[in-house]
Amino acid sequence: MSEGYSILVDTSKCTACRGCQVACKEWNQLPGVPTKNVGSHENPQELSAATWKILRFSEGKQPEGQAFWHFFSEQCRHCVSPGCMEQSEKDEVLQDEKTGAVLFTPKTKDLKYEATRKACPYDIPRKDEKTGALVKCTMCFDRITNNMEPACVKTCPTDALEFGPREKILDAAKKRVAELKKNYPKAAALNADDVRVIYLVTDDPKTYWKFAAGK
């Protein structure tokens, strides 16, 4: 589907500054949450009703012994055919026809939380314990419908995030992968035909995050 918008996330340009994570919280007026050091740079450690975007850190060694340290700015992928939407019977989950954004409404409090979460191949939906509703990234629907970029894209200092018409982003992803493959044979655009938030990686997706390419 070439209609609507997409976001390109080029992990090769990400410096893990967390600017996107902070911008998401600020624009959506999401509160800070208490955290503690558990031996990872991730802070907080998980998505929640108060955290819709999180910077994942992954480090280790390749089979040949080469060290890696990957950054992955996790968020809802706004799937072209959303699994979460299959759990919806009364417009609890909507997909905007013009933008393609997948939106959770307050009616999601009536959905079965675990079933809806499992229906997402990227393990994104979270429950707001105060309201009972399910929440996640909205693709900054209020911004993009007013001719503005998503807050995360606007704030990225290295242009690791790019927003635009889906056809344009798909073309940019294809060209960037071809460029990256010159130095990184494993470079790929993850599930580009199925999601609107398209991640470019230079290594095996599982070395970034266990749900990077879906369950």
pLDDT at 2 over 70: no
| In the chain, where the domains are located | 84-135
Bridge partners, 104 (sequence order): 93
| The model's pTM | 0.96
pLDDT at 1 over 60: no
123 vs 91: CA distance, rounded Å: 21
Q: Does domain 84-135 have CATH number 3.30.70.20?
A: yes
**Which pLDDT tens digit goes with each residue over 152-198?**
999 999 999 999 999 999 999 999 999 999 999 999 999 999 999 99
What's the chain's average pLDDT? 96
Q: Tokens 């949450």 belong to which residue? A: 33
**Which pLDDT tens digit goes with each residue over 194-215?**
999 999 999 999 999 999 999 9
Cis amide prior to 44 (ω within 30 degrees): yes
**Which pLDDT tens digit goes with each residue over 82-114?**
999 999 989 999 999 999 999 999 999 999 999
Supply the DSSP string of 23-79, one letter for each residue. Answer: HHHHHHTPPP------SSS-SSSS-BTTBS-EEEEEEEE-TTS-EEEEEEEE-----
Report pLDDT for 140. 98
**Which pLDDT tens digit goes with each residue over 111-149?**
999 999 999 999 999 999 999 999 999 999 999 999 999
CA of residue 125 relative to chain centroid, distance: 11
